[in-house]
């Protein structure tokens, strides 16, 4: 038997039912309860025969537990989740006037070590399974009567280091939950082989690169990954992703005062992203207590940076910031919970490239 039903598609659930004549139909029915209705108990499956529910009861629907539920003054909600081992990861519900979105984690912690990110400062424990990834969406869906229509993988972890589990989770969100691939966004620090692999999957998802500087000298300081794949190489991979998938890509740009918010870098960025469909998303730095002493730029510096880009016909947006009072904003997810990363090997890290 599987560890949990969440993480299995309708065909895989049907196979668990053995040689029942109605296995295919019941697999579809049970999958609809789990993914379409966000059922977390067999008692909610009233139209499933009692004997079948009894047989399945040995396999939990999900093993996710809520360690903490935080609500922001602006409507954002954050869940700290675990699977019974106190290795906590976070997900965020983001209601807007015209839609409901959510931000999901792909790993517990993160091995990438970006200098501005609270998650990276906490270290790395393990990859999340497809069921644990989709289970976050379902847990958040149970918090709201509105349908969550958009998913961003911008929570804890580097999604591309957990690519196969991520792909399975996205297929479940599309095939079983019913979300459009075009409403799924994956954010990466720039793992070139995995970007190219994802482009071949035939899923028209939106891809966002955490760029944060057009200059190798600055990006090296901010993001250790840049020592392996330099700015030009990773932007070329994004250019190819846009060409293969037909999707506009996003360059996330965290503005840090007097580090990467200079006019010279705005000029260099405008040249770097020319010639293919993309948008630059500016994100003024959210405070994270690091040894670097990074600061948020004044509004005038943000506006000056944006004006340079717009004058050079770069498509620019600015992140709508939410959830500050519960540390749910960009770069702030840290798994703040007693017992977090209790079994982590302090020196653990995943390889940057697929073998």
**Rounded average pLDDT over 285-313:** 89
Q: Does residue 42 share a domain with residue 104?
A: no
Question: Is residue 222 in a domain?
Answer: yes
Crossing angle for the helix pair 231-245 and 263-272, to the nearest 10 degrees? 40
Question: Catalytic pick from 91, 110, 117, 330?
Answer: 330
Number of compact structural domains in the chain: 2
Portion of the chain with pLDDT greater than 90, in percent: 79
Q: Does residue 132 share a domain with residue 41?
A: no
Question: Is residue 355 in a domain?
Answer: no
Q: What pLDDT shows up at residue 116?
A: 86
Lowest-pLDDT range, 15-24, 41-50, 115-124, 215-224?
115-124
What tens digit of pLDDT does each residue of 196-251 get?
Answer: 999 999 999 999 999 999 999 999 999 999 999 999 999 999 999 999 999 999 99
Specify the pTM: 0.91
Q: Does residue 76 share a domain with residue 31?
A: no
What tens digit of pLDDT does each residue of 99-111 get?
Answer: 999 999 999 989 9
Cα dihedral value 300, 209, 205, 335, nearest 10: -90
Question: Is pLDDT above 90 for 353?
Answer: no
Question: Is pLDDT above 70 for 279?
Answer: yes
Q: Does residue 302 share a domain with residue 203?
A: yes
Q: Does residue 235 share a domain with residue 119?
A: yes
Question: Is residue 33 in a domain?
Answer: yes
Nearest-angstrom CA–CA distance, 3 and 1: 7
Question: Is residue 335 in a domain?
Answer: no
Q: What pLDDT shows up at residue 326?
A: 56
Q: Is 310 labeled as catalytic in the residue annotation?
A: no
Question: Is residue 3 in a domain?
Answer: no
Question: Is residue 1 in a domain?
Answer: no
Q: What pLDDT shows up at residue 345?
A: 42
Nearest-angstrom CA–CA distance, 180 and 184: 7
Provide the 3-class DSSP secondary structure of residue 120.
helix
Question: Is pLDDT above 50 for 350?
Answer: no
DSSP character string of 165-191: HHHHHHHHIIIII---GGGEEEEES--
CA 191 and chain centroid, separation? 15
**Rounded average pLDDT over 30-38:** 97
What is the 3-state secondary structure of 249-272? Answer: EEEEEEECCCCCCCHHHHHHHHHH
Question: Catalytic pick from 77, 90, 132, 252?
Answer: 90
In the sheet where 89-95 sits, what is the strand order? 65-71, 77-82, 89-95, 100-103, 150-153, 184-188, 206-210, 249-255, 278-284, 316-318
Residue spans of alpha helices (H) in the chain:
10-16, 23-31, 50-56, 118-121, 130-141, 163-172, 192-199, 216-222, 231-245, 263-272, 299-311
CATH of the domain at 290: 3.20.20.70
Q: Does residue 243 share a domain with residue 124?
A: yes
Nearest-angstrom CA–CA distance, 209 and 40: 34
- What letter does residue 205 receive in the DSSP assignment? -
Question: Is pLDDT above 60 for 332?
Answer: no
**Rounded average pLDDT over 252-281:** 97
**Rounded average pLDDT over 164-181:** 98
Where does the pLDDT of residue 119 fall: very low under 50, low under 70, confident under 90, or very high at 90 and above? confident
DSSP character string of 63-105: --EEEEEEE-TTS-EEEEEESSS---EEEEEEE-SS-EEEE--
Q: Does residue 134 share a domain with residue 51?
A: no
Nearest-angstrom CA–CA distance, 55 and 354: 40
Domain, as residue range, for 224: 65-326
Question: Is pLDDT above 60 for 336?
Answer: no
What tens digit of pLDDT does each residue of 147-172 get?
Answer: 999 999 999 999 999 999 999 999 99
Q: Does residue 197 share a domain with residue 178?
A: yes
Portion of the chain with pLDDT greater than 70, in percent: 89
Q: Does residue 27 share a domain with residue 109?
A: no
Q: Does residue 309 share a domain with residue 181?
A: yes
Q: Is 318 labeled as catalytic in the residue annotation?
A: no
Where does the pLDDT of residue 141 fall: very low under 50, low under 70, confident under 90, or very high at 90 and above? very high
Question: Is residue 4 in a domain?
Answer: no
Q: Does residue 95 share a domain with residue 52?
A: no
Q: Does residue 115 share a domain with residue 251?
A: yes
Q: Give residues with Cβ within 8 angstroms of 303, minimum separation 6.
A: none
Question: Is residue 334 in a domain?
Answer: no
């Amino acid at each position: 038997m599987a560890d949990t039903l969440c993480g299995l598609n309708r065909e895989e659930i049907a196979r668990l039912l053995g040689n029942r004549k109605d296995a295919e139909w019941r697999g579809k029915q049970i999958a609809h309860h789990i993914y379409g209705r966000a059922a977390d108990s067999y008692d909610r499956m009233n139209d499933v025969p009692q004997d079948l529910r009894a047989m399945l009861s040995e396999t939990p629907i999900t093993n996710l537990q809520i360690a903490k539920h935080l609500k922001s003054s602006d409507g954002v909600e954050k869940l700290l989740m675990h699977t019974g081992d106190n290795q906590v990861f976070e997900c965020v519900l983001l209601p807007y006037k015209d839609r409901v979105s959510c931000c999901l984690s792909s790993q517990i912690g993160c091995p990438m070590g970006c200098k501005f990110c609270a998650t990276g400062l906490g270290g790395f424990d393990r990859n999340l399974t497809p069921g644990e990834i989709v289970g976050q969406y379902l847990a958040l869906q149970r918090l709201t009567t509105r349908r969550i229509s958009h998913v961003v993988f911008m929570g804890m972890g580097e999604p591309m280091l957990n690519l196969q589990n991520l792909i399975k989770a996205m297929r479940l969100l599309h095939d079983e939950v019913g979300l459009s691939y075009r409403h799924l966004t994956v954010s990466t620090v720039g793992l070139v082989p995995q970007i190219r692999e994802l482009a071949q999957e035939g899923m028209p998802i939106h891809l966002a690169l955490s760029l944060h500087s057009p200059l190798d000298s600055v990006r090296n300081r901010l993001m250790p990954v840049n020592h392996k794949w330099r700015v030009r190489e990773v932007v070329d991979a994004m250019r190819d992703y846009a060409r293969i998938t037909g999707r506009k890509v996003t360059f996330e740009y965290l503005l840090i005062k007097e580090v990467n918010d200079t006019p010279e870098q705005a000029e260099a960025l405008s040249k770097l992203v020319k010639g293919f469909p993309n948008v630059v998303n500016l994100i003024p730095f959210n405070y994270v207590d690091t040894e670097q002493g990074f600061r948020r730029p004044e509004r005038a510096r943000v506006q000056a940076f944006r004006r340079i880009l717009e004058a050079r016909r770069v498509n620019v947006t600015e992140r709508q910031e939410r959830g500050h009072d519960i540390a749910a904003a960009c770069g702030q997810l840290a798994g703040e919970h007693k017992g977090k990363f209790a079994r982590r090997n302090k020196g653990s890290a995943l390889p940057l490239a697929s073998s």
